[in-house]
Amino acid sequence: MCGIVGYVGEKQAAPVLLDGLEKLEYRGYDSAGLAVLDGKNNINIARAKGKLCELFKKTDGGKALEGVCGIGHTRWATHGEPSENNAHPHFNDDKTIAAVHNGIIENYAELKGKLSRQGYEFYSETDTEVATKLVDYYYKKHGDPVRAIANFVLRVRGSYALAVLFKDYPDQIFAVRKDSPMIIGVAGGEAFIASDVPAILKYTKSVYYVANTEIAHVEKGKVTFYNLDKEVVEKDLTEITWNAQSAEKDGYEHFMLKEMHEQPRVVKDTVNGLIKDGKIDFSDFGLSDKDIAKVKHITVVACGSAYHAGVAAQYVLEELARIPVRVELSSEFRYRNPVADKNCLVIVISQSGETADSLAALREAKKLKMKTLAIVNVLGSSIAREADGVLYTKAGPEIAVATTKAYSSQLIAGYALALKFATVRNTITQERYKELLSELSTLPEKIECILKQKESIQHFASEAANKKNVFFIGRGVDYAVCIEGSLKLKEISYVHSEAYAAGELKHGPISLIEDGTLVIGVLMQENLIEKTLSNLVETKSRGAYIAAVTCGDDKKVENVADVKITVPYTDGLFAASLAVIPLQLFAYYLSVLKGNDVDKPRNLAKSVTVE
């Protein structure tokens, strides 16, 4: 949901800003813009509708904007259509202040009315222009950027990461955030602002995580933080462990393809990070055995694919640890007035750690005094910082909008939780525990083996290229994989698809099956194969074209399926980790065949920081 960058240093700012925006384009890509202070007390702005390459062309790779201090923005429209006029940065009336913003100013209409009555005029439909003019109003009143921004914070409702240039303060940027991400990196005589780490990894790994409502005064190689009373706040730098290459395509055609291929390593790293002395160990994540023993129920809250990882975890946790688990969409949990339960552990799963609904759900759980655990990929993200405990998945930066490797690492975290809870609750034998632990360590190799057969999935995708509707069906953990496979297909290939628990199909959706409809059955649970197979046969009798993802050489599957995709065998509880790989590849190749922008699908943004 929009990406912001800022730079001040010795280099020309615009090329550095464009480079950073390129790494953030996954956050929004309907328009982009730059503002640079030119050293002669002018703020020059360039904006362009469309992808970042348009701004790149317009500014000749940044050469058209001279100066060593600037801010930039890539937009995912909230207020006002994607257009040059609505693109950021926005100016105040006399072009002495320019700002970029990520988030939503909820009371912007009321503020716009008040500012209009003060004589302000508005040229765009955006809340960001209102924000810029509000800062201008307070700056003219107090003559001090920090005080102006502090007043802005007190006046606005909503979420924002705001970076502001003042003509009166050359080579300086002022910034603030609330519930939208912002980091500030420093290196020698340079300083960088960004919505996310990949934008600055190439330049520095030393970053400050800006807390809510802290105001940053960014100068060459130096940052001073203030609270709303303009008192200096001392902060520590954090060292990022990700390497710069992990934010590059590395020879792959798309980030998604690269990230799918990183899954064996990511799964291995996540497993290794959870095992100490041959056992699953959660003591470093703020969840001791004593804490676990007190938990009587678990509620998982998440959105999108993270929610799907939660659904898979629910099956595994209930099976192994015999503990009731409920999985809820964060956007529902936050408004449904959940019942406070001190014996309930609320687990928030999020790749970015910034998803607005998941952050709000976490806060709701904390308000109700429930213990919280975050399963998060991005170090220092808001959810990671606010939860009582945090388990970091080891996926590294994920750039493609459609998640693959982060989802895979979330699955591992769910399995590990189930095994841990099962030991503490004494619901697993030593033998089964060891068996599953050893199976866990074989997953990377098995994923690798599926990836090596990617051409066969590519061929299947080419056969399915004209399908208008696709159904995914499965039972238990296989159903959890189906909902993820269906989402992948929708988001990047724009093919309509539905996922159903196999037994549910005949309660309505089967009426949609007609000649040639593609039905993909996931058949990884030995005890449920026959049941799902019967449901596939029901659709085949109505003309469906059947594909089956399975791990056995069951002749019964071959007799029913038109296409059989075989993955290595694993315990049914871990089936999602293998069955999801061909489904990711299928969505990917279909998207490529259709000529879609795989990494930046239409209408989407990677990190959904607005409701």
Nearest approach in angstroms of CB 422 to ligand M6R is 26
Q: Which stretch binds ligand M6R (CB under 6 A): 45-53, 94-102, 345-353, 416-424?
A: 345-353
Interface mask toward ligand M6R for 490-509; x: CB under 6 A: -x------------------
Nearest approach in angstroms of CB 8 to ligand M6R is 29
Q: Which of 87, 317, 347, 401 binds ligand M6R (CB under 6 A)?
A: 401
Q: Which is nearer to ligand M6R, 350 or 570 (CB)?
A: 350
Q: Which is nearer to ligand M6R, 108 or 415 (CB)?
A: 415
Interface mask toward ligand M6R for 592-611; x: CB under 6 A: ---------------xx---
Q: Which of 331, 403, 408, 609 binds ligand M6R (CB under 6 A)?
A: 403
Q: What is the CA radius of gyration of the chain?
A: 25
- Contact yes or no for 417/393 (Cβ under 8 A): no
Q: Which stretch binds ligand M6R (CB under 6 A): 166-174, 280-288, 344-352, 584-592?
A: 344-352
The residues carrying an active-site annotation are 2, 606
**Neighbour order of strands in the sheet with 344-350:** 325-329, 297-302, 344-350, 371-376, 389-392
- Contact yes or no for 178/212 (Cβ under 8 A): yes
Interface mask toward ligand M6R for 299-338; x: CB under 6 A: ----xxxx--------------------------------
Q: Which stretch binds ligand M6R (CB under 6 A): 35-43, 189-197, 336-344, 346-354?
A: 346-354
What dihedral angle (degrees, nearest 10) is formed by the CA atoms of 547, 553, 558, 564?
Answer: 20
- Contact yes or no for 116/174 (Cβ under 8 A): no
Other Cβ atoms closer than 10 A to 82: 15
Query: CA angle at residue 45 from 44 to 50, to 5 degrees?
Result: 160
**Looking at beta carbons, which pairs linking 455-464 to residues 24 or more positions away fall under 8 Å?**
456/565, 457/565, 457/582, 457/585, 457/586, 457/589, 458/585, 458/589, 460/547, 460/563, 460/565, 460/586, 461/585, 461/586, 461/589, 461/590, 461/593, 462/589, 462/593, 463/563, 464/518, 464/547, 464/586, 464/590
Nearest to 4 by CA among 64, 88, 65, 85: 88
Nearest approach in angstroms of CB 206 to ligand M6R is 24
The site for ligand M6R, by CB under 6 A, has a size of 16
Q: Which is nearer to ligand M6R, 321 or 583 (CB)?
A: 583
> Rounded CA gap, 516 and 507, in Å?
21
Q: Does 591 bind ligand M6R (CB under 6 A)?
A: no
Q: Which is nearer to ligand M6R, 331 or 535 (CB)?
A: 331
Q: Does 181 bind ligand M6R (CB under 6 A)?
A: no
Q: Which of 350, 382, 486, 591 binds ligand M6R (CB under 6 A)?
A: 350
Q: Which of 44, 78, 355, 409 binds ligand M6R (CB under 6 A)?
A: 355
Q: Which is nearer to ligand M6R, 401 or 561 (CB)?
A: 401
Please report, for residues 23, 24, 32, 65, 87, the alpha-carbon distance to residue 2 in angstroms, rounded to integers and kept in the order given: 12, 8, 9, 22, 11
> Rounded CA gap, 437 and 91, in Å?
58
Nearest approach in angstroms of CB 402 to ligand M6R is 4
Q: Which of 44, 151, 172, 351 binds ligand M6R (CB under 6 A)?
A: 351
What is the binding site for ligand M6R (CB under 6 A)?
Answer: 303-306, 350-352, 355, 358, 401-403, 487, 491, 607-608
